[in-house]
Structures are given as structure tokens and as C-alpha cells.
Amino acid sequence: MFDLLLTGFQIVLTPSTFLLILAGTILGVIFGAMPGVSASMSVALAVPFTYAMSPVVAIAFLVAVYCASITGGGITSILFKIPGTPSNAPTTFDGYPMAQRGEAGKALGIALICSAIGGTVSAVAMLLLAPQLANVGLRFGPSELFAVSVLGLSVLTALDSENVIKTLISGLIGLLLATVGMDPMLGIPRFTWGSSAMLGGVEMIPVMIGLFAITEVLRQTSKPLKLVTTDSKAGSNFKTSFLSWPEAWSIRWTVVRSSILGTVVGILPGAGATIAAFLSYSTEAKISPNRKQFGHGAIEGIAASETANNAAAGGSMVPLLALGIPGGTAAAVMMSALVLQGVQLGPLLHRTQPQFLSSVFASMILTNILMVLCSMAIAKVFNKVLNVPYSILGPLIVLFAAMGSFALKNSTGDVVLMMIAGIVGVAFASFKFSAAALVLGLVLGSLTEANLRRAILLEGGDLLAVISKPITASLLLVCAAMLLWPVVSGALKGKKKVAA
């Protein structure tokens, strides 16, 4: 274990990697602080920068962007009541009232320190849990791996429990897109319509950049020219300050509970930082001794939200590194970036390339330290950044997105694909379909199909024999429960309402 840690820190502390992690942290904080740029979008926009990096440095860089973007989102939540990412929304409940009464610096201090603690706890959890999970995963054959892939897909309904059917349709479209190109077992072309350009399949990165970045820019196009704060006074001037010792001591259990809750929620595939932040905030609002202050500027509220969303970011790396199953959309983007570099994520990765896990751990620790220092400085200049009109910010995001897609294979075809994905994303958003579900389906599609068909081949064509294996059957039952739970709970809620 000690050797592993040493290797990780040796990798991230080499001057070039350190500078890249610093750049990733600054980039992440800036992206995260920009309203409308989610953590997944931040990672997607950062992917093109990794094309020239080695896979280990690339994941360290992307992890830095991911962790920092979630922290960066807290800045605008506190100063302007505009959550930078959806997972920072609960931070506005108490952060903004504190800013209004002239305590913006203190609110930022709490957010940053708690983010760093949450991120560090989840990094340690990742280091301890991922190898154990990978060892279990190594005993899995194709049928069990198929069930694990389905487990990753089973969170589809949890992504938007209000629109289960539309989310399932979106996930299935993602699975269908993954079948385009050469069939993984027999090499037969599918859905290519005779075009050789389609044989390689649908590139994941342009689709993701299109769905996350272009869709958001298009949606913002018809909105106001400037991001509007509800009270310009709140974030105009502030001095950064940290908590006094008694204040810090008073939130210790909030931080401990939120770190654990955030990490556990992050590990569950698909749950993610947003659910973690809201769950942690609502838990603390119920059990905190200071619960009456919640919503009026309680330091516990900021601590709960910011600790949990960062802890979830680290937690989502556990299934990614141990089983090759992304814990969330941002992890799915990271997975596709690594697959692009020829890295085969999964249980074998820990045996063959242990430096991946250690460098991710070291990068997370380093990012958590760097982002505290960077965020304070960035927060001070962010007032001015938010004054940049969207007529400049929007096209600039499109340019980065377009060049990021182009740089993948030096092909304008990928830029066209990205634009189409962006336009489809707008239709999806308008009619409440789920872009995140489509991405999950696209990422896990080929893995699911290949393992299922391999398992069927091994069992002589008997599908029942595949799904009735003990581990496979157990996992598939869990999947069925996860898929059906939102439907059942929705029906139960409906009955209660009728009865009332």
C-alpha cells in the first residue's frame, strides 16, 4: 500500500504533471463557477487537452478538473445565488443569506474547507475500497460482467424518476447508438448504410460534448444577455476569512456525516453529487441542533452540501476504477477519454497498472489542497467574469467544444456529429428526455452486448443458463429492483395522495 501511495505521489509531483493538475484545478474552478457549465460538461470540455497526455497523467488531470468544478460551483452559489453546477444548489440556501449579511468570505471559507475534507475522505475510501472491489470483480466471468453492466444501466430510472419512460427511451437510444459500426463478435457492419466512415461506430466524445456543452449554449441563446444576480449587493465586496475554532468544532459531526453519506451515494452508480448534496442537506436540516437556522444562513447547511458533493465526486471513481462501470455522467466522460487512449478499465486494471489508482488518489489529494488556494483568488475576480455577456461566452464555449471534437481525429465529421448531438440534446431537453441516460447507454452499450453474447456462446446458446447463475441472477434481481423502485414508489405516493 505504501509503495502504491509513493508511486502515486511521485507521478503527480513531477513538475509537468503538477503544473497540469494545477491548470486542471484552475480550469475546473472556472468552469464550475460558470453557471450552465456542469461538472460533466467541464470534464467533457477538458478532454481534448488530454489527447497529448499519457493515460495516467490524463486521468489525474481530468480528476482535478472534475473535483475542482464541483467546488467552483459553490462560489457563484454563495456570491450570486446562481449554482454553478446542479450539485451546488443546496449551497445557495444558506450561502447566499450569509453573503447578504456581509459574511460572504466566511461562507466561501466554509465551502472550500468542507469541500477539501469531503474530497479527501472520499479519496481515502476510494483507495481502500477499489482494490477490494476489483479483486471480487476478477472472479467474474462474462455472465457476471454482463450483470454488472446492467447494474450500471439500472440507475437509468433514478436519473429522472419523474419521467421514467422517457429516461428509459433515452438510455435505449444510447444502447442502440453503441451498436453502430462493426459487430464486436462477428465483425459484421451494422447501421452503416454502406458508409465506410460509419464502420468505426459513433464516437463518444463528440456526442457527449454536443449533448452537454452545445445543448446548454443553444438553450442559453434565447435567455438574457447577462447572468443576472438577484441582489447585486451580496457578492460585490468581500474579505476572505475562515471559521473560528469554536465554529469549526461545532460542525465537526456535520462534516463527518456528510463525508460518509456523500461517498456512499457517490459509489452507487448514477446517484451522483447532486443527490448526495440534497440528501446530506435535508438530513442535516432534520437532525442538526441548529436546524431552525437552516435556510437563513446556517454554516451547517453550507458544510453539509459542499462536503457531500465533493465526497460523491470521489465515490463515483470507485466503481469506475474497480469494475469499469462509471458511477456518474462525469465518470462516464472520463471513461470514454481513457478508452480512447487504449486503457481497458475494469478489475484487471488494478493488477496490471496499479499506478492508475494511486495517481487518481494522489491527484485528488493534491487537487483538494490546490483548489482551496486557487478558489479564493478566483472568487475575488469572478465578479468581473460574470459581467462578460453571454454573446461572447456562448460562442467561445462552442469554439472550444468544436475544436475539442475536431482534435479527436482531425475530422470535421466529428464536429458535425457534435452539432447534431447538440441539436438532439435541445429536443431532448424540451421534451424532458434524458441526455445523461443516453450517455450512460452509449458508454455501457458495447460492454453489455459483448459480455452477454460471450456468455451465451459459452453456454451453448442457452440464455436461461446465463441469467440463472447465482451471482448473475442476484445482480440482475438488484437491477430489477433498482429499475422498478421509482415506478413503485411513484405509484405508492399517488395512492397516498388519493387517500388524503
Partner 1 sequence: MALELLFNGTLLAFFTYCFFYIGATVPKTNAVGWGAEVWPQAILLALIVLIGVNIYRVYRGSSAEERGLSSVRRLNLRSIMTGKLILGMGALFVYAIVLQALGFIVSTFVFFVVYARIVGQRNVKSLVVSSLVATLSVYFIFSRGLGVMLPRGLGLLRDFALILERL
The single residue among 6, 19, 138, 165 that binds partner 1, judged by CB under 8 A, is 165
Please report whether residue 161 would count as binding partner 1 according to CB under 8 A.
no
Cβ neighbour number for residue 384 with a 10 Å cutoff: 8
The single residue among 23, 136, 218, 248 that binds partner 1, judged by CB under 8 A, is 218
Which CB atom, from 100 or from 411, has the smaller least distance to partner 1?
A: 411
Q: Least distance in Å: CB of 184 to partner 1?
A: 9
Please report whether residue 460 would count as binding partner 1 according to CB under 8 A.
yes
Which DSSP symbol is given to 271? T
C-alpha–C-alpha distance, residues 192 and 188, integer Å: 10
Q: Least distance in Å: CB of 52 to partner 1?
A: 6
Please report whether residue 49 would count as binding partner 1 according to CB under 8 A.
yes
- Residue 245 CB contacts under 8 Å (≥ 6 apart), including other chains: none
Q: With CB under 8 A as the contact rule, which of the stretches 181-189, 239-247, 260-268, 333-341 interacts with partner 1? A: 181-189
Which DSSP symbol is given to 388? S
C-alpha–C-alpha distance, residues 17 and 7, integer Å: 13
Q: Least distance in Å: CB of 156 to partner 1?
A: 12
Helix runs in 268-354, H state only:
272-287, 299-315, 317-323, 329-340, 347-352
C-alpha–C-alpha distance, residues 308 and 173, integer Å: 32
Instruction: Return the amino acid letter for 276.
Output: A
Q: Least distance in Å: CB of 328 to partner 1?
A: 23
Helix runs in 353-434, H state only:
355-385, 390-409, 412-430
Which CB atom, from 49 or from 80, has the smaller least distance to partner 1?
A: 49
φ and ψ of 387, to 5 deg: -80, -10
Please report whether residue 173 would count as binding partner 1 according to CB under 8 A.
yes
Q: Least distance in Å: CB of 293 to partner 1?
A: 41
C-alpha–C-alpha distance, residues 217 and 397, integer Å: 8
Asked if 179 contacts 390 with a C-beta cutoff of 8 angstroms, the reply is no
> Which of 69, 76, 103, 113 lies closest to 91, judged by CA?
76
Q: With CB under 8 A as the contact rule, which of the stretches 132-140, 177-185, 271-279, 316-324 interacts with partner 1? A: 177-185
Q: Least distance in Å: CB of 425 to partner 1?
A: 11
Which CB atom, from 117 or from 340, has the smaller least distance to partner 1?
A: 340
CA–centroid distance for 477 within its chain: 26
Retrieve residue 97's grid coordinates: 443569506
Q: Least distance in Å: CB of 67 to partner 1?
A: 23
- Residue 290 CB contacts under 8 Å (≥ 6 apart), including other chains: 250, 298, 300
- Residue 427 CB contacts under 8 Å (≥ 6 apart), including other chains: 433
Please report whether residue 392 would count as binding partner 1 according to CB under 8 A.
yes
Please report whether residue 162 would count as binding partner 1 according to CB under 8 A.
no
Q: With CB under 8 A as the contact rule, which of the stretches 59-67, 116-124, 284-292, 426-434 interacts with partner 1? A: 426-434
Please report whether residue 341 would count as binding partner 1 according to CB under 8 A.
no
Which CB atom, from 253 or from 400, has the smaller least distance to partner 1?
A: 400
C-alpha–C-alpha distance, residues 247 and 241, integer Å: 12
Please report whether residue 395 would count as binding partner 1 according to CB under 8 A.
yes
CA–centroid distance for 224 within its chain: 28
**Could you list the residues that contact partner 1 (CB under 8 A)?**
48-49, 51-52, 165-166, 168-169, 172-173, 175-176, 179, 183, 185-186, 188, 190-191, 214, 217-219, 221-222, 225, 389-392, 394-396, 398-400, 402-403, 406-407, 410, 412, 415-416, 418-419, 422-423, 426-427, 430-431, 449, 452-453, 456-457, 460-461
